[in-house]
Structure 1
Amino acid sequence: MLRKKVSEWVKEVGVLSGMAKTEPHAAYSAFTHGLQHRWSFVKRIIPGISRLLRPLEEFIRKTFLPALLKTNFTIGEDVRELLSIPPRLGEMGITSLEKMAEEKNRNSINLTRSLTEKVIAQDAKGETDQNVILELKKTMSRNRQSAQMESLERLKDVVQVETVRKIHIAQETGASKWLTCLPIRAKGFRLNKQEFVDAVALRYGWPVEGLPKTCVC
């Protein structure tokens, strides 16, 4: 059943990949604001599904990301991990469903443990302490942010020095607003194909494609 669902998700990302060839900003926004959040429920409730989600992750890395970013190089594991880190840390927040599945399931179990125990005990009068739940959520958030920072620090040792400098710039307050806002044309927030691709290339210090070899002046 899940394999069938994953196949459907791959097709959906395929449609988005086709869209990314002409409207990458809209495709990126649709993925980060919509599509990847639709998969959250499955990650939370089904344990041990990382292996089953691998075809989707492979399709994202080999088809969606090249269509979105117009890169002239293969997107390896390090670049893929870099792109999965949130924009507030200077990246793009294109999460890996495969890598996040176990963490999401574990967090869901911890958050619902007291309620589960009451259901098993048929305790109709007991109440869940919301303060405890709130503290659990805060702890999970801190752990997630700490793991993201550790991942980023590790990646800084393997990417180019120029990319590391660009990441530091992208972490400045407001530096990622153009990336995280909805591409609303009427508000002037939409970037066309060339603008989006160039902006991402400049964000990471990647070569900007299509530049003239000689100055026209």
Structure 2
Amino acid sequence: MELVGETWFSVTIFAWFADDATAAGSLTGLRKWWSAFVSLGPAFGYNVKPSKSWLIVKAEHLDLAKNLFDGCGVGITVEGKRHLGAAIGSPTFVQHYVNEKVEYWVSCVRKLSVIAKAQPHAAYCAFTHGLITRMGGLGLCNPSANANFEFNSSIQVTSSLTKEIIEQQTCFRMSVVSSQRQAKADIIALRHRQLVCKQSELTPQLPASLRRIVSLSSEKGASSWLSVLPIEEHGFALHKGAFRDALCLRYGWLPNSLPAKCVCGHGFTVDHAMNCATGGFPTLRHNELRDFTAAALSEVCHNVAIEPVLQPLSGESFRYATANVEDEARLDVSAHGFWGSRHQKAFFDVRIFNPTAPSYRNTAVSSLYRRFERDKQRMYEQRIRDVEMGSFTPLVFSTFGGMGSAATVAYKRLASMLSTQRGQSYSSVVSWIRCSTSFSLLRSAVTCLRGARSHRGSPVTIGALDLAILEGQVLPSH
């Protein structure tokens, strides 16, 4: 900052980016500015390199520029130069620079299209990572159609910083940070409103069956698998066949090369594949979510058990006829210290349903979540409360990746506990949980389609949570 103050002089505009200095103004003022840097810079540890410095002038000022800067070693041009990722100079130079950028972008997209044949998941993530994939979409956008909005957004976000430069403020004010933060929030809100309007416009034009599928794909968590980098060691990668099958399932398209008949003897359809018990795939799907939940709970709770056996009854009676009164009754997971005191035992039971099954197609998804939560509560809640003196939470999921209200509350609580335990932000951990459950359900759905119906599987672990969030660039939900 002392060097900045020393070199103020008569320069019209003066700015720094890290150790790159830039100035604009009259040629005589710029000559004084340059001389000051050369003479004063070394005392502040700043050694000017003329060979890396350029003076951009208009053609009519070229001769004067050469005379003033003669012997300085500074390059002089009337065309233009690249500066911090942009172009400064004549309209012809700027247009040429932009054309090169566009040509390079086009070549990258063409390379991605080749990569997509063998690695569609990786190519998709390279093109869309960081974009919005909610509302049932894929986050694919047309840069030409979005160019004006993105340009105006950039102007809006940088306006406060531009004002600081024009006013030649030598101290960075925190009001700039808050102003930029607010501008970004306003842009995100505006983009969201635009997408909601577009969705409202397009949804009535869809066939009824596709409207339901898009609604399911729009649920919170259903698009999480599209928003992270495909890193195999964290369970976030899909091979080319699985990725294409996943897109077919997301939009109700018929996957390629399905058999005509299932090994159980029934006709093979997507709905049948999701529900057929032959091979035990629905059980494996259930168990993977159960094991993931238990592994996560073991990080923050004690006495975590998988399939804990309930105490046998001694004549107790319950309100609902559907209550489970078997002596060997089991739930999926139990843990101490989740909801209340460290001595209170919390029980969880997983239920996964296929919302596109023929018997569910005409029922609102929200009603299905409530129904299955209510069914679980009537089976276990009173027994858990009265006999086990614990709490019961039904964890209801759809095969599309959405979850019921009770599960949402439970996993938010789990994310809060994990974020404290691991020192990660809550938003990152809750997004990681959604990604993990989403991939679990998705892999299971693909297995139901393509599996050989054998009894094989392995539990998931969460040992690399910190690394998964960092390397997978798990993004907080907005």
The TM-score bracket by the shorter chain reads 0.5 to 0.7
Closer, same or farther: CA 131–186 of 1 in aligned 2, 3 Å: closer
Quote the Cα distance in structure 2 between the aligned partners of 1:181 and 1:120.
Answer: 39
Q: Do residues 11 (structure 1) and 107 (structure 2) align?
A: yes
For residues 51-130 of structure 1, the aligned pairs below 5 Å read 86-124=132-170, 127=173, 129=175, 130=177
Closer, same or farther: CA 15–119 of 1 in aligned 2, 3 Å: same
For residues 154-165 of structure 1, the aligned pairs below 5 Å read 154-165=201-212
Q: Do residues 196 (structure 1) and 292 (structure 2) align?
A: no
1:176 is matched with 223
101-110 or 128-137, larger mean C-alpha shift: 128-137
Quote the Cα distance in structure 2 between the aligned partners of 1:187 and 1:136.
Answer: 35
2:402 is matched with none
Contact 1:114/1:128 (<8 A) preserved: no
Which one has the largest radius of gyration? 2
Quote the Cα distance in structure 2 between the aligned partners of 1:22 and 1:3.
Answer: 30
Quote the Cα distance in structure 1 between the aligned partners of 2:148 and 2:169.
Answer: 29
Quote the Cα distance in structure 2 between the aligned partners of 1:14 and 1:160.
Answer: 33
Quote the Cα distance in structure 2 between the aligned partners of 1:183 and 1:108.
Answer: 29
1:30 is matched with 126
The answer to which structure has the higher helix fraction is: 1
Contact 2:230/2:238 (<8 A) preserved: yes
Query: 1:166 corresponds to which letter in structure 2?
Result: I
Query: 2:115 corresponds to which letter in structure 1?
Result: M
Q: Do residues 131 (structure 1) and 227 (structure 2) align?
A: no
SS at structure 2 position matched to 1:110: helix
Note the C-alpha offset of 1:158. 2.3
Note the C-alpha offset of 1:200. 0.4
166-175 or 117-126, larger mean C-alpha shift: 117-126
Gaps of 5+ in 1: 38-84
2:233 is matched with 186
Quote the Cα distance in structure 2 between the aligned partners of 1:106 and 1:114.
Answer: 14
Note the C-alpha offset of 1:93. 1.0
Query: 1:143 corresponds to which letter in structure 2?
Result: L
Contact 2:160/2:179 (<8 A) preserved: no
The answer to which structure has the higher strand fraction is: 2
Note the C-alpha offset of 1:179. 2.1
Note the C-alpha offset of 1:6. 1.3
Q: TM-score, normalised by structure 2?
A: 0.32
203-212 or 126-135, larger mean C-alpha shift: 126-135
SS at structure 1 position matched to 2:152: helix
Closer, same or farther: CA 3–160 of 1 in aligned 2, 3 Å: farther
Closer, same or farther: CA 29–125 of 1 in aligned 2, 3 Å: closer
Quote the Cα distance in structure 1 between the aligned partners of 2:247 and 2:127.
Answer: 16
Note the C-alpha offset of 1:214. 4.9
**CA distances 1:161-204 after superposition (whole Å, capped 9, x unpaired):** 22221111112222122222322222333212221111101211
Quote the Cα distance in structure 1 between the aligned partners of 2:230 and 2:164.
Answer: 45
Contact 2:248/2:254 (<8 A) preserved: yes
Query: 1:21 corresponds to which letter in structure 2?
Result: K
Quote the Cα distance in structure 2 between the aligned partners of 1:144 and 1:5.
Answer: 25
SS at structure 2 position matched to 1:89: coil
Q: Choose between structure 1 and 2 for higher RCO, CA contacts under 8 A separated by at least 6 residues.
A: 1
Contact 1:115/1:128 (<8 A) preserved: no
Quote the Cα distance in structure 2 between the aligned partners of 1:102 and 1:176.
Answer: 27
167-176 or 12-21, larger mean C-alpha shift: 167-176
Q: TM-score, normalised by structure 1?
A: 0.67
